Amino acid sequence: MPCAPLIDPFARPITYLRVSVTDRCDFRCVYCMAEEMTFLPKQEVLSLEELTRLCNAFTDLGVRKLRITGGEPLVRRDILQFFQNMGKRLGDGLDELTLTTNGSQLRRHARALADCGVKRVNVSVDTLDERKFLEITRRGRLAQVLDGIDAAQEAGLSVKINAVALKGVNDHEIVPMAEWCAARGMDLTFIEVMPMGDLGNEDRLDQYLPVSEVRETLARRWTLEDIPLRTGGPARYVRAKETGARIGFITPLTHNFCEGCNRVRVTCTGMLYMCLGQDDSADLRAPLRASESDEPLVETIRGAIARKPKGHDFDYSRQGDFGSVGRHMSVTGG
């Protein structure tokens, strides 16, 4: 018997779930992690079986799109088994299974991901300059990431590049990044840096570059046409008339995209966050481990969705407490 779908207090159906499968990563991007991270004990992290059960429950409740995130999801041991498990739900509740990755492990896994039913991947690349890439990721290996992108395209995966706009860091690369993506047939999305977590070594107020300025820079190079493309996420897209390339903008600070929010996030420990920009959460690990029945899990999910807020409160204009949340981006899963 089908379950009643998840509807939040503002009549928005919840059809998109982002799941972090690990807090670990082989990079240490300055806006995402502290340089010296203390990672979670294994027993606190959901097993692949628990992740499968949780995602199946959400799919039964009407989730149609499942995005796998991290940390870096592809560094988790045996992660392909999880993709195989969820790939079985494609056409049986799920419309799309995809992931966000730093690209470092794509050469190893791209073909297998495609075999699991993954058709699209988002790859985080903030710069094409090797020195800047090392500064941002604290690990480097740009060539390995670019080779991973090659592997993804060779496997038939559609690749979208995500770039965090950072003032004084990669603002001079806006047009070259767009040219590179257009030449490779890849969509590109620029994202405003978000006030997530106290990393202790980066001043995001100084790094903050409004995506409106990114768009203005691109508009001086090409004719930008708004298009109605929606991929289930918060990006708003334009097409560069001269190249045909699609460019997206995610603007949590300069444009509130909450009115149509259809998504929630689950961490690798089973904490459900109803809003990226709020700290309210629900523990799904406890009901998962307390009962073989999914009824307590489903009840907890429904109770959490009933508390989903109308929107977040990111605001850099308040210089001090600007609506930030205390967890690192790597904890929530992007």
Annotated binding site for GTP: 18, 67, 100, 160, 263-265
Residues annotated in a binding site for [4Fe-4S] cluster: 25, 29, 32, 258, 261, 275
Place of tokens 């628990």: 50
Residue among 174, 152, 147 at smallest CA distance from 163? 174
Residues annotated in a binding site: 18, 25, 29, 31-32, 67, 71, 100, 124, 160, 194, 258, 261, 263-265, 275
Task: Give the CA dihedral 331, 127, 246, 253, nearest 10 degrees.
Answer: 50
Residues annotated in a binding site for S-adenosyl-L-methionine: 31, 71, 124, 194
What secondary structure letter does DSSP report for 255? S
Distance from C-alpha of 170 to C-alpha of 69, rounded to nearest angstrom: 24
Alpha-carbon distances, residue 183 vs 6, 68, 107, 249, 318 (angstroms): 41, 27, 21, 19, 40
Contacts of 284 (CB under 8 A, 6+ apart): 54, 266, 270, 271, 272, 297, 300, 301
Residue among 310, 287, 317, 315 at smallest CA distance from 300? 287
Q: Could you give the 3-state DSSP secondary structure of residue 236? A: strand
Contacts of 128 (CB under 8 A, 6+ apart): 142, 173, 176, 177, 180
**For helices 174-184 and 211-219, angle between their N-to-C axes, nearest 10 degrees:** 70
